[in-house]
Amino acid sequence: MKPILRSWKRQQEFSSNAAHELRTPLTVIQNQMEFLLTKPRDQVMDHAVEVSTTLDEVKHMKVLSSQLLTLARSDSGMIQINKQEVDIEPWLNKVIQPFGEIADSQNKVLNTNLLAQGRVNFDADLVRQLLVILLDNALKYTPSGGSINVSAKVNKKNLVFEILDTGRGIDDPEKEKIFDRFYRTDKSRNSKTGGNGLGLSIAKWIVDEHHGKISVHDNYPTGTIFKVVLPE
């Protein structure tokens, strides 16, 4: 009975955390809309702040609902991984390119060191999602003026990615917990970097599906390194 009870409890926790995460943006949206309704004669321009706050929350909810869907589907075994041959270099450049532009706009530097070449076998959609999660974090948790480094190489038939940043870093006791669903470190809960703590649990699931490994290390003097090894 024990494993069944444990999984039941986990499922219950998951639903209640999900509901809680959805409530916060919904409350903000409701408040903003109710406020706007008290000013029926104003122009949109007069309330750009309220409109953009609402839009931000809608965007958060969109990310949240698609992440919840991914996890629900992965739990019920509904996602089949679909490995295909990918020409690694152009594919990586395409995945990383938008993040270079985001980095620029935030006064951060994104360097790449892509030594992987040729055709590699993996689920391109899932691995893109994995890189997006790690790049998004690297940018989000690195202050302006900082830098992010992405490297890729093939080593003994393994595809190895490293995403390195010069951000706030992750304390040792938290390194294990960050892959748990909904877990966010105190530092990120207290700052205003929107997020829900689901990204890395999805990243871990994607890596597991590929029978690979994901690990987190300190960067010196400051920051974090995420390393992913995907076997062929």
Ligand X SMILES: Nc1ncnc2c1ncn2[C@@H]1O[C@H](COP(=O)(O)OP(=O)(O)O)[C@@H](O)[C@H]1O
Q: Which does 170 bind (CB under 5 to 8 A by kind): Mg ion, ligand X, none?
A: ligand X
Task: Give the integer Cα–Cα distance in Å for 47 and 220.
Answer: 44
Residue 92 Cβ vs ligand X, minimum distance, rounded to whole Å: 19
Q: Which is nearer to Mg ion, 9 or 189 (CB)?
A: 189
Per CB under 6 A, which of residues 135..174 are in contact with ligand X? Answer: 137-138, 141, 165, 167-168, 170
Residue 221 Cβ vs ligand X, minimum distance, rounded to whole Å: 14
Q: In sequence order, what are the residues at sequence separation of 6 or more whose Cβ sits closer than 8 angstroms to the Cβ of residue 199?
A: 67, 133, 136, 137
| Chain centre to alpha carbon of residue 66 | 12
Region from 73-81, 97-105, 116-124, 134-142 binding Mg ion, contact rule CB under 5 A: 134-142
Give which of 111, 221, 224 is closest to 167, Cα–Cα: 224
Query: Judged by CB under 6 A, does residue 60 bind ligand X?
Result: no
Buried b (16+ CB within 10 A) or exposed e, 189-219: eeeeeebbbbbbbbbbbbbebbebebebeeb
Residues that bind ligand X (rule: CB under 6 A) add up to a total of 20
Task: Give the integer Cα–Cα distance in Å for 214 and 227.
Answer: 6
Q: Which is nearer to Mg ion, 88 or 195 (CB)?
A: 195
Q: Which does 99 bind (CB under 5 to 8 A by kind): ligand X, Mg ion, none?
A: none
Task: Determine contact, residues 149/186, Cβ cutoff 8 Å.
Answer: no
Q: Which amino acid is at 209?
A: E
Region from 14-22, 53-61, 89-97, 192-200 binding ligand X, contact rule CB under 6 A: 192-200
Task: Give the integer Cα–Cα distance in Å for 104 and 70.
Answer: 30
Query: Judged by CB under 6 A, does residue 68 bind ligand X?
Result: no
Task: Give the integer Cα–Cα distance in Å for 90 and 98.
Answer: 14
Task: Give the integer Cα–Cα distance in Å for 194 and 67.
Answer: 14
Query: Judged by CB under 6 A, does residue 100 bind ligand X?
Result: no
Residue 184 Cβ vs ligand X, minimum distance, rounded to whole Å: 3
When CB distances to Mg ion are compared, the closest residue is 199
Q: Which does 18 bind (CB under 5 to 8 A by kind): Mg ion, ligand X, none?
A: none
Task: Give the integer Cα–Cα distance in Å for 143 and 225.
Answer: 16
Residues that bind Mg ion (rule: CB under 5 A) add up to a total of 3
Q: Which is nearer to Mg ion, 51 or 63 (CB)?
A: 63
Query: Judged by CB under 6 A, does residue 204 bind ligand X?
Result: no
Residues that bind Mg ion (CB under 5 A): 137, 195, 199
Binding-site ranges for ligand X (CB under 6 A): 133, 137-138, 141, 165, 167-168, 170, 178, 183-185, 188, 195-200, 224
